Amino acid sequence: MEYIFADRMGKVQASAIREILKFTSEPGVISLAAGNPAPEAFPIDAVRQITEKILTENPILSLQYSITEGYPKLRETLKTYLKTKKGLGQDFDDLITTSGAQQAIDLATRIFCQKGDTILCEAPTFVGSLNGFKASEANVVGIPMEEDGISIEALEKALQTNKNVKFLYVIPNFQNPSGITMSLAKRKSVYELAKKYGIMILEDNPYGELRFSGEDIPCIKSLDTDGLVIYCGSFSKVLSPGLRVGYVLAPAPVIGKMVVLKQTNDVHTGIMAQIICEQFMNEYDFEAHIASLRKIYRKKAQLMLDCFEPYFDPAVTHTVPDGGLFIWCTLPDHINMMSFCQRAVQEYKVAVVPGSAFMVRESDPTQSFRINFSTPTDEQILRGMELLGKLTKA
Amino acid sequence: MEYIFADRMGKVQASAIREILKFTSEPGVISLAAGNPAPEAFPIDAVRQITEKILTENPILSLQYSITEGYPKLRETLKTYLKTKKGLGQDFDDLITTSGAQQAIDLATRIFCQKGDTILCEAPTFVGSLNGFKASEANVVGIPMEEDGISIEALEKALQTNKNVKFLYVIPNFQNPSGITMSLAKRKSVYELAKKYGIMILEDNPYGELRFSGEDIPCIKSLDTDGLVIYCGSFSKVLSPGLRVGYVLAPAPVIGKMVVLKQTNDVHTGIMAQIICEQFMNEYDFEAHIASLRKIYRKKAQLMLDCFEPYFDPAVTHTVPDGGLFIWCTLPDHINMMSFCQRAVQEYKVAVVPGSAFMVRESDPTQSFRINFSTPTDEQILRGMELLGKLTKA
């Protein structure tokens, strides 16, 4: 049998990150390539207590079919949390829980985009979203990043020159992969441009709670008086990615379409996982847990940042993130980035992710690679950075 | 803001079943409209013991990111189970775990189908799959059902007259909504026709384990020497639908594409849910549990079937399922089916699902409606059938 797949399957490849992760699981390799929460970041006892409680007090609720919109108590908890802690949510907004923020991105893409449409995004950006965009057969256009976020000049030019732009995808806080945070001024400019050109903004904020330096900056969604912003959040970095629970706050007509499409996608998100998230927010000290995560990642980020000066060739530059999980390193122009990454894993046994994985086209030029400080142990960070530094000097 | 959605969103509506379910949750209404497992069918103690164990012995595994293909131990367990119990799986096959069988259907549809393609299915068929097919913008063609399954004559005619047919979707065992089981002769004919016309078969078997009468009939997948059959299974009816775990056994190139698309859809299926399924199959008496479910549904089905003779007008016919959750009732031609269903819920306070919900187009003619015996209590079955019977005589 010769299998003839739909055209969209020709647009999307297996995530380069996941392919590298497979390779880097070989013994002896120190991986700075992942993006997993630190093992010590999981509130294991709380999850154990909650599952014990819900399977004792309300087992049928946690095992039976549930509704597509999401577990009602979790939806209410999240609406209140986003409103009181971040100033998000207008009367016209509604909220759906999703199977991770990845499903939120996928649903948003599929309800709005088809062949012939355009999606704008930061370049570089999160590879999982990029592949979802490509699967929609939309034209994906990358807008260069600057130190304080997306280039506003390039964004306006892209809005002027591209047809059928449906939305702009941004990760304003501690972006994956760059670690860059968008300034408040740029957030306002982005919102005004979206309004001017009549497009939506898909604001992805998986790392927002993980700020370990500086002051919180208002989300773009907090400016949304016109119903332009689809805000995606996640429990993956603040509780557990294995549970696969994310959420979307967006104008009710958008959420309504997401519900319809989610019915055909997975009916609803795992209900026990949703109850765990709700109970953890309401019955435990969620704020204290977030504070403990910030402490963990502040320490690990600093440990990694402190390795550049003693170990790295000074010609290699890097971002200094205020939160999140990633640092973005840039090689001088005379070094071949892909060869560097290959030598790193093959000769020096340290895995990093080549920046091309995060570009709209893998052939787009970049001298950068991504390293992560949340997954490796402190010892692995020190040893990995020492080895990587040697390669920069080799 | 005026929201302009993708064309596909105009093809798919909110599931009629879910709309009816919302309505029927009103107090005083007896619902025969659902399709949920019986509350007494959940192995609550086992799930509680397993979660306690995994969160004690291996908490990080159950909370951390996992791989898209699925939890390796569950995949191996399922491959062995399908091979030894059902004779399914060739050397060229592989298996992926999915977020319920709904995601399996959705992924299969999206990797193969686009605008201009054709999907064939039984008419009536499961509304969740129908909506997924419509969202792909494929042309969906319904093939009439007969007492022993799909009409082979109509199927061959459809294969001759429709272009770009990608697959035939069938639920051979205790079909939703009709309760009909496809005969072995027809399964062989379906396979031969698929081979002759070079199309795939999407075999959905969520109820296969729930046979309470007669002998098991081999799955179409058991005939698959040519790599034509995509087989979907689920834990929703044998363990818990709230966990959202399903799986697909299909030729490796098909599974490979599903993995790529699932990465963009939800990264992976909830890992704690997958471990629960694996542990339940390996550490508990899965066969004895299935036997207990068959006993529960045999009793409830018989209770409902025994109500027709005393309560119903003899002009109303019905199927006699050998398993599953549903009975399909057909009204005589002079009765307006939609009015009957409306009067049932509004005047008699008994909810059923109008057959039109399961037709390719809701306007396609049908005199049937679906009733369910798994969700209501025994008392609700007796009272609901008595009330419904009164309406058939009114």
3-state secondary structure chain A: CCCCCCCHHHHCCCCHHHHHHHHHCCCCCEECCCCCCCHHHCCHHHHHHHHHHHHHHCHHHHHCCCCCCCCHHHHHHHHHHHHHHHCCCCCCEEEEEECHHHHHHHHHHHHHCCCCCEEEEEECCCHHHHHHHHHCCCEEEEEEEECCEECHHHHHHHHHHCCCEEEEEECCCCCCCCCCCCCHHHHHHHHHHHHHHCCEEEEECCCHHHECCCCCCCCHHHHCCCCCEEEEEECCCCCCCCCCCEEEEEEHHHHHHHHHHHHHHCCCCCHHHHHHHHHHHHHCCHHHHHHHHHHHHHHHHHHHHCCHHHHCCCCCEECCCCECCEEEEECCCCCCHHHHHHHHHHCCCEECEEHHHHCCCCCCCCCEEEEECCCCCHHHHHHHHHHHHHHHHC
CA atoms within 13 A on the CB side of A200: 26
| Any A CB within 8 A of B234 CB | no
**Region B210-219 average pLDDT:** 98
| Any B CB within 8 A of A42 CB | yes
Tell me, rounded to whole angstroms, the distance of Cα B296 from its chain centroid: 19
Q: Which residues of A touch B55 (CB under 8 A)?
A: 44, 47-48, 51
Q: Which residues of B touch A111 (CB under 8 A)?
A: 5-6, 9
End-to-end CA distance of chain B: 51
pLDDT of residue A15: 54
Strand-pair partners of A372: A326
**What confidence tier does B363 reach under pLDDT thresholds 50, 70, 90?**
confident
How far is residue B197's CA from residue B200's CA, in Å, rounded to a whole number? 9
| Any A CB within 8 A of B269 CB | yes
Q: Which residues of A touch B68 (CB under 8 A)?
A: 18
| Any A CB within 8 A of B6 CB | yes
End-to-end CA distance of chain A: 51
Inter-chain touch B261–A135, beta carbons under 8 Å: yes
**What confidence tier does B1 reach under pLDDT thresholds 50, 70, 90?**
confident
| Residue segments in chain A with a per-residue pLDDT below the cut of 50 | none
pLDDT of residue A16: 56
Nearest CA in chain B to A259: B14
The tokens for A69 are 């919109």
Nearest CA in chain B to A21: B67
**Per-window interface: B 160-189 vs A, CB < 8 A:** 166
Helix (H/G/I), strand (E/B), else coil: B233: strand
**Per-window interface: A 198-227 vs B, CB < 8 A:** 198, 200, 226-227
pLDDT of residue B320: 98
**Per-window interface: A 303-362 vs B, CB < 8 A:** none
**Which residue in the set B6, B55, B166 is minimally distant from A114, CB to CB?**
B6
Q: How many CB pairs under 8 A join A and B?
A: 233
**What confidence tier does B14 reach under pLDDT thresholds 50, 70, 90?**
low
| Complex prediction ipTM | 0.96
Whether the per-residue pLDDT at B380 is higher than 90: the answer is yes
**Region B358-383 average pLDDT:** 96
| Any B CB within 8 A of A296 CB | no
pLDDT of residue A269: 98
Task: Calculate what percentage of chain B has a pLDDT beyond 90.
Answer: 93
Q: Which phi and psi angles does A328 have, rounded to 5°?
A: -110, 120
B391: enclosing H helix or E strand:
helix B378-393
CA torsion angle B379 B371 A262 B98 (round to 10): 90
Helix (H/G/I), strand (E/B), else coil: B253: helix
Whether the per-residue pLDDT at B67 is higher than 60: the answer is yes
The mean predicted confidence, pLDDT, of chain B is 95
Alpha-carbon Rg for chain A in angstroms: 21
| Any A CB within 8 A of B40 CB | no
Distance from CA of A144 to the nearest CA of B (A): 23
**Which residue in the set B7, B9, B39 is minimally distant from A60, CB to CB?**
B39
Determine the residue type at B116.
G
Inter-chain touch A135–B264, beta carbons under 8 Å: yes
